[in-house]
Structure 1
Amino acid sequence: MEIEEFIRKAKKLATLVRAPLYRRGLVLGVAAGIEHEKLLRSHPCRTLVDIGANRGQFALVARRCWPEARIYSFEPLEAPCGRFRKLFAGDSRVHLFPVGIAPERQRRGIHLSRREDSSSLLPMGTQSEFFPGTEEAGRVEVEVGPLGEWVSAAEIDSPAFLKIDVQGYEAEVLRGCLPLLACFSYVYVEASFVELYRGQALADEVIRFLQESGFRLAGIYNLGYAATGTAVQGDFFFGRESSAAA
């Protein structure tokens, strides 16, 4: 497994250095999430709402695939926000909000991981068992609230793409996106088959919520497996009934 992971990372690095935009990301310590590139290129987008932006790994790929799209990114942690701002300095179509999305406006404690992109608004569960090196390393208070507190329906031009990568907090984020969910043609959300964070909604609950909201599951990408072969998590792509086949 270690050799396979080394080969995967080497291939990714070789791809990143060939694209000027991605090379800029590497210089600033941001490796673009190129595993999402094929999916993004196959769907048009004028507005991206990027929840759980971290350093800008997803937004960087989105900018390359959708050069004219307006991007609204949300990241509550200060350190990755700093990297994100440097990465997109001068890009007037990218807007970063240093907050998290939740059903209610409030201050909440976020559980910091030794790997910042594994930090969560939920307590750690089995996360570090499946992903060593992601143990809890502290806690800080952050601001959270409904998506509509920062972005209005008028600012979400169609076709719009909602991306969610929030380490177990997916169901609460989706509730925080109501009623603006109706503005989106596509939803792309990381979800888990096992409880990595205590109290998280699992993949079947996330799927059910989105189906009840008028979306259809159109694909599952980037599946991750435990050493035993058990599926742990993946990226779930949904389209509105009228756009899922687009």
Structure 2
Amino acid sequence: MEVKLPGGLFRATSTGELIMLTAPLRFAGRLRRYISRRLYGDPDSYLELCSGVIHVGANAGQERDLYARHKLKVAWIEPVPEQFEKLRQNIRSLPDQRAINALIADTDGKPYTFHVSNNDGLSSSILDLHDHKDIWPDVHFVRDITIRSSTLKTALEMWQVDPGQYNALVLDTQGSELLVLRGAQDILRQFRFIKAEAADFESYRNCATVDQIRSYLKAFGFQVRREDRFAKRASGGAYFDILFERV
């Protein structure tokens, strides 16, 4: 049965699970957290075991209050200049949080065409949109900028951030998660938790999928601790928040 609730269209499964079929992205984060808590408990409970978070793909730092409630050190990384300035303003009263302006990939100094999206940059990516429109048909790119990449290790060194103070890595990079992870392989084992937002279909062209990320991190000793499905397309496939823990 499909039901329309504030923020989008949902389908109720036989087990009582609500699957988001369509929703404006500005509602998606709030809705998925609410639904996950009601059905499966708090998806952010792992933060109680964290000393700090490196968050790649910061946008404007929407999770800043969540991190502050857990008294975490946070290094935000955001490539788009306008969003970086918003981020800096948003965290200026939070002394344990800092912002880094960088595009993270698997190599240093490579020029990328970065596509900026019309939804306050939430869907911006170095990859072209593909089946993303099946869930969010109103999202499109409005302009391109050229940015040179850095590996995670290089960016942290340039901004004088000690990675040893952070044991969680959060990736919200719209399909380029494997590039980030490959470029960070020298420091991956220092993290206890890695959290990624990813799809199991080609949302962006040639994007990293859930299975690819899971397979890559398995070689570094990470296992899936939690998967929260928060958006599903009618023709098959879904988006997930996936939490990995190193064992």
Q: Which residue number corresponds to residue 15 of structure 1? A: none
Q: Secondary structure at the match of 1:57?
A: coil
Q: Which residue number corresponds to residue 112 of structure 2? A: 108
Cα distance 1:60–1:141, how it changes in 2: closer, same or farther (>3 A)?
farther
What is the CA–CA distance in structure 1 between the aligned matches of 2:166 and 2:87, rounded to whole Å?
24
Contact 2:73 2:166 (C-alpha < 8 Å) held by counterparts? no
Extract unaligned runs of 5+ from structure 2: 10-25
What is the CA–CA distance in structure 2 between the aligned matches of 1:154 and 1:108, rounded to whole Å?
24
1:157 offset after TM fit, Å?
3.9
Match of 1:98 among 97, 101, 111: 101
Contact 1:33 1:61 (C-alpha < 8 Å) held by counterparts? no
Asked if 1:54 corresponds to 2:25, the answer is no
1:128 offset after TM fit, Å?
2.2
Q: Which residue number corresponds to residue 23 of structure 2? A: none
RMSD after superposition: 2.6
Q: Which residue number corresponds to residue 17 of structure 2? A: none
- Could you say which structure has the greater relative contact order, defined with CA pairs below 8 angstroms and 6 or more residues apart? 2
Q: TM-score, normalization: structure 1? A: 0.79
1:98-143: CA deviation from partner (whole Å, max 9, x where unpaired): 1121111123110122221101011221222321121122211123
1:211 offset after TM fit, Å?
0.7
Q: Which residue number corresponds to residue 39 of structure 1? A: 43
What is the CA–CA distance in structure 1 between the aligned matches of 2:134 and 2:220, rounded to whole Å?
33
Amino acid at match of 1:231: G
What is the CA–CA distance in structure 1 between the aligned matches of 2:8 and 2:138, rounded to whole Å?
20
What is the CA–CA distance in structure 1 between the aligned matches of 2:200 and 2:213, rounded to whole Å?
11
The alignment of Structure 1 onto Structure 2 pairs a total of residues equal to 217
Structure number having the greater strand percentage: 2
Contact 2:88 2:98 (C-alpha < 8 Å) held by counterparts? no
Extract unaligned runs of 5+ from structure 1: 9-29, 242-246
What is the percentage of aligned positions where both structures have the same residue? 22
Amino acid at match of 2:81: E
Moved more, 123-132 or 203-212: 123-132
Asked if 1:213 corresponds to 2:194, the answer is no
Q: Which residue number corresponds to residue 180 of structure 2? A: 173
Amino acid at match of 2:145: V
Cα distance 1:164–1:137, how it changes in 2: closer, same or farther (>3 A)?
same
Asked if 1:233 corresponds to 2:242, the answer is no
1:94 offset after TM fit, Å?
1.1
Cα distance 1:206–1:149, how it changes in 2: closer, same or farther (>3 A)?
same
1:222 offset after TM fit, Å?
3.8
